[in-house]
A and B are shown apart, each in its own frame.
Chain A
Amino acid sequence: MPTQLRTYLLCLAALSLLACQPSGGGDAEAEGSGDETESAETTEGEGSGAEGAAVETEVEQIVLYSGRNEEMVGPIIEAFENETGVDVVVNYAGSAELAATLLEEGDRTPADVFLAQDASTLGFLEGQGTLAAVPEGLLTQVDTRYRSPAGHWVGITGRARVLAYNTDNLNSSTLPRDFRALTEPHWRGRVGWAPENASFQSFVATMIAMEGEEATLEWLSAMQANEPVAFPSNTPMVTAIGRGELDVGLTNHYYLYRLREEHGADFAAENHYFRDGSAAAFVNVTGAAILEASDNREGAQMLIGYLLGDQAQTMFAEANHEFPLVNGVASPDGLPAATDLNVPSVDLANIHDLETTHRLLRESGALQ
């Protein structure tokens, strides 16, 4: 009985998938979709070759969970679709939110690829056994710094931590020496941060990896006592800085460029790179991973391969002002070279301890 029920539910699932898939549905039906997708990873064509139809790939659709937003990722996905003819279905949301969703969905997830806006979320999922191995050929395209040593995720682009500041109220001589100075009374109520944000949590995780729990908790508590302004995410924080509602904020480098594009050149904010090898000078990644539960490994690899290709890397750099991670692709205009940022020596792979991060953020009162 239970097996019958399961089969029934599976059939329903397959049917509903077909129903939601307007393009190419006809072909899939003709070939019997259920078997077809499963065979994709195992076979090199013994069964399906008999049909003699498709060229190299049988991939028809890839489901991507994207922690980067549609305006930034969408054009690249579209270029991929045009080039390959594969349909990419994207679920856009926050990185942490999608990670929680992936855990909740478990092996029932429709996702094939997860594109996260930070390394620690990927490291955390890797630890949970949610991610599958990324093939060596893809991994080695980026520097060892920017990929998982265990091989379950690979960095696509880099994003530097900065202190954004209002240019009407501050100049380079009145900026803090380092991020630790933000706990001084002088900065009371003038600093913005986004404790809920995955990139911020990656920064804290970096600090834990570099300086230990105790020192990190101490800094967080001192910050919290200095009455920082907590934002739910980075965009409103940098907006507030440009409007002069706030003097400085701990954030990523590229929000400034988006806001300048929107508000015009007189948007009164600028980025300050600490370049001091501290956790606040750390460069995070937008990284990609393949879901263990995905039965469409071939498609997943195709997509990640494309994101690491020259065209996508250039688009990321030009449209989104992120640092390309693949060797040989230049940094966008107006950005310092990624090699010029004096980043901390800690390995990205060592900053996966989000659970401790979360606990410390709570203990300090930064996370309510």
Chain B
Amino acid sequence: MRVLFTCQAAVPHLYPVVPLAWACRAAGHEVRIASGSRVGGHIADAGLPAVEITATPQWTDEERKETQATIYGQGPWPQNWGLDLGALGPERQAYLRFIAGRLIRGAAAMVPELAEFAADWRPDLLVYDAISFAGPVVAARLGIPGIRYLFGTVAMPRIELDACGEPLPEYVRLFGDHGLPVCLAPAAAVDVTPPSLRLMSEVDTLAMRYIPYNGPGVVPEWVGVPAGRPRVCVTWGHTAGAALGGQAGHPFRQAIDALAGLDVELVVVTTAEQIELLGALPPGTRTAASVPLQLILPHCDLLVQQGGDGTTLTGAALGLPQLGISRKPDAEVAPGRLAGAGAGIHLRYQELRDDPARADVLRGAVERLLTDPAYRQAAQRLRTEIENQPAPAELVPVLADLAETPVALEVGS
């Protein structure tokens, strides 16, 4: 069969689906990954055939700034907020509506090119990340099953629906502009989160084992040499630097400075540009630019991270206790769930920022995570839970069956 994958043009959306795409290919199926130009090189780096979608929404500078300011200007949100959207106040509901509007506009720009490619290549199945709404539109247009994959997120509710579960008018329009009734039900949803981190379950969910893919790379030589003291990996993903510039590094710079006094080896892993944002680091700090986390974490004792979905799941898949320092609503849920599972501690930057004792708070958290064996045991349980999920290879026959199931056109409201 032919499987077309599509995702947001950002690596956190691409990476979680790479093992499934390769599983399809290794089973003899053809795959293509279609996404925006920004991520084309990353698709190719994963060894997968990329299809470049050149059209992008034309954001003005003001709109861009507004998006970032809105996302990073949020105070702390309630624990597990995605469970009950109705309980969120009007401001927070407006926030979700704002994000949904941006995503739907992005999807509208992408639909024509994606539809054109798909009409020519004729996929049997379209697999799209949970917030790439061009996916369901093009699947509906071709009359093929759409598979929604949750990109490791435990946080993102069906943001295209309102608190009562009704589609937003702009989501209905996204389909209507192409003469289609709105389609709300994918043929299935693929979820890579382990049960104890999962916040909610959608109907027809296919659980999948999370296989860490964090970009290409080679194993650094130093990982094989024991540090002689606990090794603490500090990372904050790929995207914050681009979104926030210089201030993206602040929470991590503060964490690094706080931890420098402990008897640990600090390893800072992120992109070269983001390492640069940190400035001069305390002596003895190791940096690893663009080395995939999965190659470093097996040699570490603790992961300090930003609450990113892929980062959290990679740490969990490798059985590491984690300290999550979040600063935006969608990044709060994963570390919150980790803490709930006993495998980590969750701190909010919005609270740390103004706390004069923050260095002590950070040091205390790290010391507890390193010395209390309960955290490591919980992290190992989480790892086992992940390993007990069906591997991507086991999902391929399920997808092949779905590809042969006729699609019933659903008439939406």
- The answer to whether A and B interact is no
Q: List chain B positions with a Cβ less than 8 A from chain A.
A: none
